[in-house]
Amino acid sequence: MITLKSKREILAMEKSGAIIAGMHQALKNIIKPGISTWDIEEFSRNYIESHGGRAAQIGFEGFEYATTVSVNSEVAHAFPRKDLILKDGDLVKVDTVVELDGAYSDSAWSYAVGRVSPEIQKLMEVTLKAMYLGIDQAQVGNRLGDIGAVMNHYIEDENGYGNVIDYAGHGIGPTMHEEPTVLHDGVAGRGLRLRPGMTITIEPMVNLGSWEVETSQEDGWTVRTIDGSWSAQYEHVIAITEDGPKILTSQDAEFDAKYLLK
Tens digit of pLDDT for each residue in 69-128? 999 999 999 999 999 999 999 999 999 999 999 999 999 999 999 999 999 999 999 999
pLDDT for the residue 262 = 56
Averaged pLDDT for residues 7-24:
98
Q: Is 41 annotated as a binding residue?
A: no
Residue 42, judged by CB atoms within 10 A of its CB (0-12, 13-18, 19+), counts as middle
Q: Is 179 annotated as a binding residue?
A: no
Q: Is 95 annotated as a binding residue?
A: yes
Report whether pLDDT(174) > 90: no
What CATH number did the domain enclosing 101 receive? 3.90.230.10
pLDDT for the residue 62 = 93
In a domain, 136, yes or no: yes
In a domain, 1, yes or no: no
In a domain, 132, yes or no: yes
Q: Is 242 annotated as a binding residue?
A: no
Give the total number of structural domains in the chain: 1
- Residue 188: give the domain boundaries: 7-261
Q: Is 170 annotated as a binding residue?
A: yes
Query: Rounded to a whole number, what is the distance in angstroms from the first to the last CA of the chain?
Result: 34
Indicate the pLDDT class of residue 164, thresholds 50, 70 and 90.
very high
In a domain, 2, yes or no: no
Q: Is 51 annotated as a binding residue?
A: no
In a domain, 59, yes or no: yes
Residue 253, judged by CB atoms within 10 A of its CB (0-12, 13-18, 19+), counts as exposed
In a domain, 131, yes or no: yes
Q: Is 178 annotated as a binding residue?
A: no
